[in-house]
């Protein structure tokens, strides 16, 4: 089989399909180089002394791991000077990161979760990087938070990497989802699956069951029905998987279907969910929809949410379309 590198794929998208402008192509190439650098760093593990806590907290008040900080620095540094960005925002930083004056500026905004699932680092389980690209609103030269507050439907590109047994990069430019695998010897990403499609039906679910007592009634109902198996109302047995690393759980769903849920709960009423809209929910929702799946909070389509803050949290229910729609219909029954 002819090997198609990420560069070749993007050039083809730029010239033959006119699906990606030159500066967006450059942006994706730079992000993919950062991902390679993060992959190499993650792969060194304890040998490089990079495991454990950084001794600092992020804007969400969560303890930062050393690798959270390193991955954030890699992405910031690599994307500052290329002239393709107007600003960046990271889950690890309070406000937008401006492009230093000495560098040229571009028309895109890059948002990222530098190391998703970082509680898994020290136990040597898959982690990843999630990113989303928006256009900087016209006439804005120094983007502040409000420039980033665009709904998920405005994303021009979304992607994520999983640092697992192999490093994979999942990418959408709004016309399907494609997967690339890092060739560690050659140091480049190679196209390994084109136009990924998620099966509409599934018998596999992913949720942190320890929160069950805090869930709202529609979610309790759905999970109880799945647990009831063949003789229950859904008439079939279900299997459960929870990696506690969204990138790995979503990659599994892209591979063989499934439903991933981090629902709203009443554990901490100040938080309407655990996952972040701008860094996790929106990019993953775009990818899932582009692969034929669905993504909702239970009450509304994730991509339609008008964001109110950079670090806003939302409930996330995504994956195989028919199961996501079932959960949405259970929320509707309660809402009526």
Residues that bind ligand F6P (CB under 6 A): 116-117, 119, 208, 244-246, 275
Judging by beta carbons within 10 Å of its beta carbon (0-12, 13-18, 19+), is residue 259 exposed, middle or buried?
A: buried
What tokens were used for 60?
């969400």
* Greatest pairwise CA separation for the chain in angstroms: 66
**Least gap, CB of 183 to ligand F6P (angstroms):** 26
Contact 23, 208 (CB under 8 A): no
Q: Is 66 helix (H, G, I), strand (E, B) or coil?
A: helix
Contact 173, 13 (CB under 8 A): yes
**Least gap, CB of 242 to ligand F6P (angstroms):** 7
**Residue number with CB closer to ligand F6P (13 or 116):** 116
Nearest residue to the partner ligand F6P, using Cβ: 246
CA distance 66 to 180: 27
**Residue number with CB closer to ligand F6P (143 or 307):** 307
**Residue number with CB closer to ligand F6P (6 or 207):** 207
**Residue number with CB closer to ligand F6P (13 or 249):** 249
**Residue number with CB closer to ligand F6P (250 or 294):** 250
DSSP state of 5: B
**Least gap, CB of 232 to ligand F6P (angstroms):** 25
Judging by beta carbons within 10 Å of its beta carbon (0-12, 13-18, 19+), is residue 78 exposed, middle or buried?
A: middle
**Least gap, CB of 42 to ligand F6P (angstroms):** 15
**Least gap, CB of 244 to ligand F6P (angstroms):** 4
């Amino acid at each position: 089989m002819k090997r198609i590198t990420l560069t070749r794929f993007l050039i083809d998208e730029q010239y033959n399909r006119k699906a990606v402008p030159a500066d967006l192509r450059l942006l994706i190439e730079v992000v993919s180089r950062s991902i390679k650098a993060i992959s190499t760093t993650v792969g060194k593990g304890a040998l490089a002394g990079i495991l454990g806590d950084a001794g600092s907290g992020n804007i969400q008040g969560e303890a930062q791991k050393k690798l959270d900080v390193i991955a954030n620095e890699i992405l910031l540094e690599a994307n500052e000077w290329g002239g393709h960005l107007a600003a960046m925002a990271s889950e690890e930083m309070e406000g937008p990161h401006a492009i230093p004056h000495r560098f040229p500026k571009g028309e895109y905004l890059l948002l990222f979760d530098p190391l998703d699932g970082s509680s898994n680092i020290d136990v040597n389980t898959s982690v990843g990087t999630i990113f989303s690209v928006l256009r900087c609103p016209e006439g804005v030269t120094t983007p502040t938070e409000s420039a980033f507050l665009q709904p998920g439907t405005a994303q021009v590109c979304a992607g994520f990497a999983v640092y697992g047994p192999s490093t994979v990069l999942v990418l959408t430019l709004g016309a399907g989802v494609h997967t690339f695998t890092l060739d560690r010897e050659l140091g480049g990403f190679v196209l390994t699956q084109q136009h990924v499609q998620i099966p509409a039906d599934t018998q596999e679910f992913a949720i942190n069951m320890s929160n069950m007592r805090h869930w709202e009634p529609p979610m309790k109902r759905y999970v109880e029905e799945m647990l009831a198996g063949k003789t229950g109302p859904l008439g079939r047995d279900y299997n459960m998987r929870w990696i506690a690393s969204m990138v790995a759980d979503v990659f599994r769903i892209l591979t063989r279907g499934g439903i991933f849920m981090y629902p709203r709960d009443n554990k901490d009423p100040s938080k309407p969910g655990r996952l972040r809209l701008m860094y996790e929910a929106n990019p993953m929702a775009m990818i899932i929809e582009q692969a034929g799946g669905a993504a909702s909070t239970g009450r509304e389509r994730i991509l339609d949410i008008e964001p109110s803050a950079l670090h806003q949290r939302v409930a996330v229910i995504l994956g195989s379309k028919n199961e996501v729609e079932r959960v949405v219909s259970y929320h509707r029954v309660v809402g009526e």
